Structure 1
Amino acid sequence: MTTSTDHQLINNTLHGNTQAFSVLVERYQNFVFTIAVRMLRNREEAEEVAQDSFIKAFEALSTYRGEAKFSSWLYSIVYRKTLDRIRKNNNSRTIELVEEITETETEDIENALHFIQIQERNELIKKGIEQLPEQEAAIITFFYFEELSIKEISEITQLSEDNVKIKLFRSRKKLFTLLKYYVLPQYTNNNGSAI
């Protein structure tokens, strides 16, 4: 059995087959929820935003032109819905990590992460992402977990490509600063150099 493409499912939905849209929901619900929960840091609110995003996508489906991937179009909806919820809650986090991280420390962190089991590594990275400001958490997630290009992230977030690059660079440094406390103590000898 072949899997329908997003475009086939969209066409079927637009021609009255609402079951086709539920396949799209199933296909993207995990990542839509991931974006919402990483920005909101609240499961219940993230579930509501994810649901609202799919409703909005369904209602606006006829406006989707196919110029960008459907996933990017959908992620821009969830990103904006999540930002709206954050503004509504007015509880934007203002964590600023001032500590600079050197290139050597970045390499040490990457080496240490390499030796940690994949599941544990992903958990550590998720914990680190949860400490980042909402927008940076979303950009890191789009780039590393969904492997979207700078251009696609720019379209989703409506930030310039240069701005996305700057935010990606800064959030990566912040993430490594956070990860340093999780991984480096376990992988250093008494001299402080990586094992």
Structure 2
Amino acid sequence: MRIVAQDVTFEHRVRLIGNKVEDVSEQVLVKRSAHGDERAFAVLVERYKSMVFSTAYKVLKDLSQSEDAAQDTFIKAYAALPGFKGQAKFSSWLYRICYNTCISILRKRRPEVELTEAMAQTIDGPAEEFRSRDIQTVIQQEVNRMPDDYRVVITLYHFDGMSYDEIAHLTHRPLGTVKAKIYRARVLLRERLLERVGWEELKEVMWK
């Protein structure tokens, strides 16, 4: 992994750092990194690169963009570390940077969402109806038009089959907030779909 932040280049060189730095506590590593110690930050990158990439991929579902998001996350984290007060765990703080980075990418790309069996199994009505080209196209368009917060949670829940708890952990939000957002997203999506296709066409494939 190669990460460039401002004028500092972080090579994937943890193997060359030695046990003294690798064995230092996270709190000390964060403090050293905040003062410009790139070797300390390289250790933090090594410790959290898998978590950051995994988080990015769960949101973006794209290998290349997830790699870019992971790199951007560490670049932003390094730049912001002098202002990190330690009020939250470093991993939680880093996670939030990653999540916000992914949301920014989603806003730029406005992806076309593909229907999956996971979503088909969460609705009332035969999966065959959801394979209808016309209905699928309309749903894709309306999901893409939703506010980003709604679009992310409804995609994770209905399209990817993630649980409320998993989404709460991924988005670092209270469970009640996640449930409320998914409910509101479903209501909004149903209202918009009803305006376009009518109840008769929709009732067999939409949530009741």
TM-score by length of 1: 0.54
* Higher Rg: 2
The aligned length equals 131
Q: For residue 33 of structure 2, what is the aligned residue in structure 1? A: 13
Q: For residue 133 of structure 1, what is the aligned residue in structure 2? A: 155
Q: C-alpha distance in 1, partners of 2:158/2:84?
A: 26
Deviation, structure 1 residue 160:
4.5
- Work out which of the residue numbers 36, 53, 56 in structure 1 matches 2:76: 56
Q: C-alpha distance in 1, partners of 2:100/2:157?
A: 10
Q: C-alpha distance in 2, partners of 1:57/1:142?
A: 28
Q: For residue 163 of structure 1, what is the aligned residue in structure 2? A: 177
Structure 1 unmatched runs, 5+: 102-131, 170-195
Q: C-alpha distance in 1, partners of 2:90/2:158?
A: 22
Contact 1:39 1:82 in 2 (8 A): yes
Seen in structure 2, the aligned counterparts of structure 1 residues 136 and 7 have a Cα distance that, compared at 3 Å, is farther
Deviation string 1:90-133 (CA, Å, 9 cap, x unpaired) is 115374825459xxxxxxxxxxxxxxxxxxxxxxxxxxxxxx82
Seen in structure 2, the aligned counterparts of structure 1 residues 8 and 168 have a Cα distance that, compared at 3 Å, is farther
One-letter amino acid matched to 2:77: A
Seen in structure 2, the aligned counterparts of structure 1 residues 87 and 94 have a Cα distance that, compared at 3 Å, is farther
* Residue 39 (1) aligns with residue 59 (2): yes
CA RMSD of aligned residues (A): 3.7
Structure 2 unmatched runs, 5+: 1-18, 124-153, 184-208
Seen in structure 2, the aligned counterparts of structure 1 residues 66 and 49 have a Cα distance that, compared at 3 Å, is same
Contact 1:94 1:133 in 2 (8 A): no
Q: C-alpha distance in 2, partners of 1:142/1:55?
A: 30
Q: C-alpha distance in 1, partners of 2:163/2:112?
A: 18
Higher RCO (CA-CA < 8 Å; seq separation 6+): 1
* Residue 75 (1) aligns with residue 95 (2): yes
Deviation, structure 1 residue 157:
3.5
- Report 1:85-104 matches (<5 A): 85-91=105-111, 93=113, 95=115, 97=119, 99-100=121-122
Contact 2:55 2:99 in 1 (8 A): yes
Q: C-alpha distance in 2, partners of 1:18/1:136?
A: 41
One-letter amino acid matched to 1:33: F
- Work out which of the residue numbers 9, 14, 23 in structure 2 matches 1:3: 23
Contact 2:35 2:82 in 1 (8 A): no
